[in-house]
Amino acid sequence: MKDEEIVLLVQKGEKEKYGEIIERYWGKLERYLREICNQRGEVVEDLVEETLIKGYEKIQSFDRGRKFSSWIYRIGHNVGVDFIKKKKESRLSEWSEENTVDGTINIEDREVWREKKEELHKAIQSLEEKYKEAVWLYYFEDKSYDEIADILETTTNNVGVLIKRAKDKLRKLISK
């Protein structure tokens, strides 16, 4: 069943169906909020919970003509931005080992991979906020330009510009 179909059922009163949304989006929102808020553990769990609660509270306002994933990510984006404003912390955290190294890479390759990963991470961290978020959503969350436009409340063309400029800046930073 598609997200939008589940949302329609929730809007019609089948509130327990929202549990399926929670199951589908908990991990995705956790990863996204962990990265944009530079946090781990309970803090991220609280942010995900806040996002999903706000989504539930606002479910009646969801426009079924839009994509649900963009809508819930937008709520997560707002929760994350509010958190960052309160904490005044940087947005991107270190990349986790489990996402970058599997058991098939030998020790030397792991070290080279770790160094390249750290170099890219530092370069991404140095980008302006608008570029960081566009890059993260596109490359790490696999969002389309249209979805990113919805999340960032901008135009699809502007998303393309943000990503292109971010890539240009990253190339310059990494080549130094």
Q: Who has greater pLDDT, 7 or 130?
A: 7
What phi and psi values does residue 40 have, to the nearest 5 degrees? -135, 170
The pLDDT of residue 127: 86
CA distance 76 to 28: 10
Judgement on whether residues 168 and 112 belong to the same structural domain of the protein: yes
Supply the mean pLDDT for the chain: 82
- Residue at a domain's end among 46, 75, 93: 93
pLDDT digits (tens, 9 = 90+) for 54-108: 999 999 999 888 899 999 999 999 998 888 877 753 333 333 344 444 444 455 5
pLDDT digits (tens, 9 = 90+) for 140-170: 888 889 999 998 999 999 999 999 999 888 8
Judgement on whether residues 89 and 12 belong to the same structural domain of the protein: yes
Judgement on whether residues 156 and 88 belong to the same structural domain of the protein: no
CA distance 102 to 66: 37
Q: CA quadruple 45, 130, 97, 122: dihedral positive or negative?
A: negative
Judgement on whether residues 84 and 148 belong to the same structural domain of the protein: no
Per-residue confidence at 111, pLDDT binned at 50, 70, 90? low
Tokens of 20: 């399926």
Share of the chain above pLDDT 70, in %: 84
Per-residue confidence at 4, pLDDT binned at 50, 70, 90? very high
Range of the domain at 14: 1-93
The pLDDT of residue 94: 36
Per-residue confidence at 138, pLDDT binned at 50, 70, 90? confident
- Residue at a domain's end among 75, 93, 111: 93
- Residue at a domain's end among 93, 119, 139: 93
Judgement on whether residues 56 and 109 belong to the same structural domain of the protein: no
- Number of domains present in the structure of the chain: 2
CA distance 29 to 22: 10
pLDDT greater than 60 at residue 40: yes
Judgement on whether residues 113 and 153 belong to the same structural domain of the protein: yes
CATH code of residue 3: 1.10.1740.10
HSE (CB half, 13 Å, CA atoms) of 156?
5
Judgement on whether residues 139 and 57 belong to the same structural domain of the protein: no
Cα angle: 9, vertex 69, 74; to 5 degrees: 115
CATH code of residue 140: 1.10.10.10
Judgement on whether residues 73 and 148 belong to the same structural domain of the protein: no
The pLDDT of residue 141: 82
Judgement on whether residues 71 and 111 belong to the same structural domain of the protein: no
The pLDDT of residue 109: 60
What phi and psi values does residue 136 have, to the nearest 5 degrees? -60, -50
Query: Looking at the whole model, is its pTM more than 0.85?
Result: no
